[in-house]
Amino acid sequence: MVDHYETLGVPREATSDEIKKAYRRLARQLHPDVNPGADASEKFKSVTHAYDVLSDAKSRQQYDLGPQPSFGGQNFGGFGDIFETFFGGGASGGRSGPRSRRERGQDALLRVEVDLEEIIFGTARDLEVDTAILCETCQGSCAAPGTHAVTCDICRGTGHIQRAVRSLLGNVMTSSPCGTCRGYGTIIPNPCPTCQGQGRVRARRKIPVDIPAGVDTGLRLQMPSQGEVGPAGGPNGDLYLEIKVRHHEVFSRNGDDLLATLELQMTDAILGTTTTLEALDGDVELDIRPGTQNAEIITIKDRGITRLRGSGRGDLKIGIQVTTPTKLSHKEQEVIRQFARSRKAHPPTLTQFQQGLFQKLRERFLNL
C-alpha cells in the first residue's frame, strides 16, 4: 500500500504547513512542463493525490486510522454495506460523516378568510404570522459573535463513535452517533445569547399575499420558501394558505356563477319594468319583460367570478320571485276588481303538485 507521507517525504506528525511546503517543492520538480518524462509524470500524479488526501483534515484522519477490521479480519465483501445499513456504520467504519446543523424549516399552514366580492378579481393583503426567522445576532452560525464551532474532541469531527462488538462471526465494528456533539462533529462552546444556539428566533413578520381570482373554500395555495427558517439558518419551508370564503347575505356561488333572487311586485311582473341592481362589482341594469313568471331566471353574461383556471368570467343569474301584496287599500282593491272583471273568468282548478319556489329556483340555477 502506498504511504502518502513517504510520497511527500514528510513524517506522519507533519503539520499542514509542512505538507504544503513539501508538495510545492515536489510539484516544481516533477511538473510536466519542467520534467516531461513519463516517470516524472506518474510521480507528479502520485504526489498530487497524496497532497489531496493529507491536506484535508477529515480525509487525513480517516487515512491515519487505516482500514478497519471486519468480522475478525476476514474480507466479506458486500456484507460490510449490509451491516452499515442495519448498525448505522457497521463494518465500513461509519463513513456517512457528521450530520449538518442546517436543516430545512417546517412548512406552515395559515387559514385566510376572504369576502365573496374579493374573489371576483382577486385581492392582495399583508398577513402577520408568528414564525421562526434567522437570528440577526449570529446569522445562523449558532455561536456567539466572535466565536465559532470547534471540532468535537471525542469523535474527532466524524459525528460517530466506533466500537468493537464481539459476535458469533468475530469482532464487528459498529458506529453510533456521538453523545457529546449529538452527531454534528462539532460543538459550540459559546452559544449565541439571542437564539441560545439555535440560529433562529421566534418573531412576527408580515408576508405580502396575492390571492388569485376564482379561489373557493378549501383551496390551498402554496407559497414556496415562506415558511419557517430552518435550524442554524437552514432553508425556509413552504407556507400554505387555506382559503375560506365568507358567507354573503345576498349572493351565493355556483362554480364561477353568482346567484341571487329578485323580489318582484306582481304589477311589475305583469307590466314589465326596468331597474338598477347593486351587484358585487358595480350596478347592473335589468330589464323585466311584461308577463315575467315566478321562478324565471334572468342571466347577465360575464358578471360572475373570474375563472381560476382559464379566461373570462362566469355569469350573474337572478331568480325572479313574484310577490303578492297582502294588504291593499280600498282604492287598490277596487282597481284589482276592475282588472279581474275585464278578463275572462278562470275558475280555480286542480293541477299537478308544484315544488316550492326555493326548490324550483335551485333546480333551474343548477340546470342552466
Q: Which three cell numbers stand for residue 237?
A: 419551508
The Cα-based distances of 24 to 134, 326, 345 in angstroms read 42, 108, 120
CA distance linking residue 211 with residue 108, whole number of Å: 17
For 140, the enclosing helix (H) or strand (E) is none
Sheet strands side by side (includes 297-300): 252-254, 257-265, 316-323, 297-300
CA distance to 37, 109, 200, 278, 314, per residue, from 306 (Å): 77, 26, 41, 18, 6
C-alpha 191/C-alpha 101 separation (Å) is 13
* DSSP 3-state of 313: strand
Any idea which residue has 413578520 for its cell? 205
Distances (CA, A) of 236 to 1, 33, 101, 109: 47, 50, 14, 14
In sequence order, what are the beta bridge partners of 164?
Answer: 173
List the grid coordinates of 92. Answer: 465500513
Integer-rounded Cα radius of gyration of the chain: 40
Annotated binding residue at 142?
no
Q: Which among 45, 202, 196 is positioned nearest to 133, based on CA atoms?
A: 202
User: What are the φ/ψ torsions at residue 202 (nearest 5 degrees)?
Assistant: -85, 135
What phi and psi, each to the nearest 5 degrees, are found at residue 272?
Answer: 85, 155
Phi, psi of 136 (to 5 degrees): -75, -20
- Distance, in Å, from the CA atom of 284 to the CA atom of 250, rounded to the nearest integer, reads 15
Indicate the annotated binding residues. Answer: 135, 138, 152, 155, 178, 181, 192, 195
Residue list, annotated binding site for Zn(2+): 135, 138, 152, 155, 178, 181, 192, 195
